[in-house]
Amino acid sequence: MTILSTADAQFDAAFEELLGRGKMDMEQVSVIVNGIISEIKTEKNLALKRHIAKFDNWTPESDDDLKMNVADMKKAYDELDERLKASLHLAYDRIKVYHEKQLPKSWFDTEDNGTILGQKVTAVDKAGLYIPGGKAAYPSSLLMNVIPAQVAGVEEIVVCTPTPDNEPNHLLLAACHLCGVKNVYKVGGASAIAAMAYGTESIPKVDVITGPGNIFVATAKKLVFGEVNIDMIAGPSEIGILADATANPHHLAIDLLSQAEHDEMASSILITTSKEIAEKTIFEIQSWLGKLPREEIARKSIEERGAVIITKDMDEALKLMNEIAPEHLEVVTANPWELLPSIKHAGAIFLGPNTPEAIGDYVAGPNHTLPTGGTAKFYSPLGVENFMKKSSIISFSSKGINEIGEACAMIANTEGLTAHEQSVRVRLK
């Protein structure tokens, strides 16, 4: 684990290296992914089956084998432990209520001369959702992607998720039933992204693709952008924590490890004004690691990509964290709300000692599909608007066009677009 202090002579160089944590070598991967996309475009289902056999260790015998059985979804739901079922319902309800507050509204404004300007907001027709299923299955990601699409009013939702050895995760199946999703396909990786972007005999072409994934999924989303819209290009998961001397090192350590256990490439960064808190947190991390079933993954992540930075004051800490722009940001200080106005860049902000990042992953309500690798400087969390688009509304009255038409004609004339100019002038009195 990297331990840095802003007082160190070499700090700037070390911090610059830290900022590269989320960079993915997409150029090398692009060659492979382009080949996959090309095969899906030309061979469709045939290529899908070949890719599933290669990457997921089973071979679909027919096109019907590509799709999850709706009866299996209901069976998985019915067999759930009642407490787990109640937990899923709690998560569903809270996520739905939160995203309903995001719904943008159409609006119209009528000027005194009768001109009407406005904006019409409509959902896309088809959304493709990618749910990871390699090292672990993520039913929570299904809820976080399906619910905002449903709230937006998307008519057709397509889900793709890998099923190694053709063994679907039962909790994921149950979550599909809870969400009422029926078009779920046992396809993963770049193949799934290509299938949803271009369509096959079984999987329809969609308008927007959302959801996290590995570097092959991220690269595929980047390459099909333009053919379809995408939510973001997300990399390995990460957490940043701002802490002062009031923080609990035992809590800080397990919060940092909550991201490290995701992936060896995940990054966990603590920035604190207290050297004592830094030292105690590092000790607690070592204590926690041996208790984790995913110790090997978490240990590699924390040792190779984890960092603790000690600053002279909180202003310096805030400046560094805004440069990092973490996916998840915990603020564990005496007065976290006082720091909120100074936080400019973060995917999700967790305020106070009783708000671990994990609560946002499952039941808080806000979306857990978040920008990574510093892209929180320009990306937002997944939300209802990712599944909607806007149309401008313009309706001029005779009086309205006569009031401003001359200005329009003059600008068109200076651009040398005579037909533009005359299409306005023929309407002027």
CATH numbers and ranges of domains, the chain: 2-24+235-364 (3.40.50.1980), 26-230 (3.40.50.1980), 396-425 (no CATH)
Query: Which residue numbers are catalytic?
Result: 327-328
- Rounded distance between C-alpha atoms, residue 3 and residue 282, angstroms: 9
pLDDT band at residue 26 using 50, 70 and 90 as cut-offs: confident
Instruction: Please determine, for residue 96, whether its predicted confidence score (pLDDT) is greater than 80.
Output: yes
Q: Helical H runs in 331-393?
A: 336-339, 357-362
352-366 pLDDT, tens digit each: 999 999 999 999 999
Residue-level pLDDT at 348: 98
67-90 pLDDT, tens digit each: 999 999 999 999 999 999 999 999
Strand order in the sheet with 388-395: 107-110, 116-123, 388-395
369-427 pLDDT, tens digit each: 999 999 999 999 999 999 999 999 999 999 999 999 999 999 999 999 999 999 999 99
For the chain, percent of residues with pLDDT exceeding 70:
99
pLDDT band at residue 22 using 50, 70 and 90 as cut-offs: low
Mean pLDDT to the nearest integer, 32-58: 97
pLDDT band at residue 40 using 50, 70 and 90 as cut-offs: very high
Q: Strand 388-395 and strand 183-185: pairing?
A: unpaired
Residue-level pLDDT at 135: 55
Q: Which helix (H) or strand (E) holds 212?
A: none
Is the CB of residue 96 less than 8 Å from the CB of residue 369?
no
Instruction: Please determine, for residue 134, whether its predicted confidence score (pLDDT) is greater than 70.
Output: no
Residue 176, burial from CB neighbour count under 10 angstroms (0-12, 13-18, 19+): buried
- Rounded distance between C-alpha atoms, residue 1 and residue 270, angstroms: 11
CA angle 212, 213, 217 (to 5 degrees): 115
- Cβ-based neighbours of 256, under 8 Å, separated by 6 or more: 239, 241, 268, 270, 281, 285, 302, 306
CA neighbor of 18 nearest in space, from 3, 34, 40, 35 = 3
- Rounded distance between C-alpha atoms, residue 275 and residue 279, angstroms: 6
153-162 pLDDT, tens digit each: 999 999 999 9
- Rounded distance between C-alpha atoms, residue 202 and residue 78, angstroms: 28
Long-range contacts of 344-353 (CB under 8 A, 24+ apart): 345/374, 345/376, 345/377, 346/240, 346/321, 346/376, 347/371, 347/372, 347/376, 347/379, 347/381, 348/381, 353/246, 353/247, 353/248, 353/251
